[in-house]
Amino acid sequence: MTEEEYMKDRVDDQIAWYGKKSGINKKYYLWSNALIIVFAALIPFFAGLDAETLVWAKYLIALLGVLTATFTGISALYKFQEKWMTYRIAGESLKREKLLYLTGAQPYQGKASSFPEFVRTMENIMNNENAVWTQVIHKKEESSETEDTTVIPK
């Protein structure tokens, strides 16, 4: 693979992918949290209304509680904030390293083997992002196993 092919097919493609995924997860995180705040704030408002004359208020309070719990669960399950941050960090790291390489700045300055070093560095950045998710998944599995094996005394 040539330097130009690697830059176009691997580096630029990954920078675009991380940017897109980061933006999507940021949007989902902000929207889900905004909805959680609004739904949770409306619960005490509707609870303060006269329940005898507004019979529908108790159903609305219940619905808002369900929506708050649902959006909180979905946000925790899909880890929008963690993905947003991880993807943004990886994408920005790739951009920075590409800039260093293209400008011939340290650590690539004056080295004949700078392209292989650049490739190693770029692949390490992408591999580290994958490793972070492996750790997150294992932590989630370990916490689930710990919770599942808890014995409740009689």
Smallest CA-to-CA distance from 121 within 149, 113, 83, 75 is with: 113
Q: What is the pLDDT along the chain (154 residues), one digit of tens a residue?
A: 999 999 999 999 999 999 999 999 999 999 999 999 999 999 999 999 887 788 899 999 999 999 999 999 999 999 999 999 999 999 999 999 999 999 999 999 988 889 999 999 999 999 998 887 777 667 666 766 655 544 444 4
- pTM for this entry: 0.81
Contacts by 36-42, CB closer than 8 A, 24 or more apart: 36/68, 36/71, 36/72, 36/75, 39/64, 39/65, 39/67, 39/68, 39/71, 40/64, 40/68
**What token pair was written down for 53?**
């004359």
Annotated domain spans of the chain: 3-138
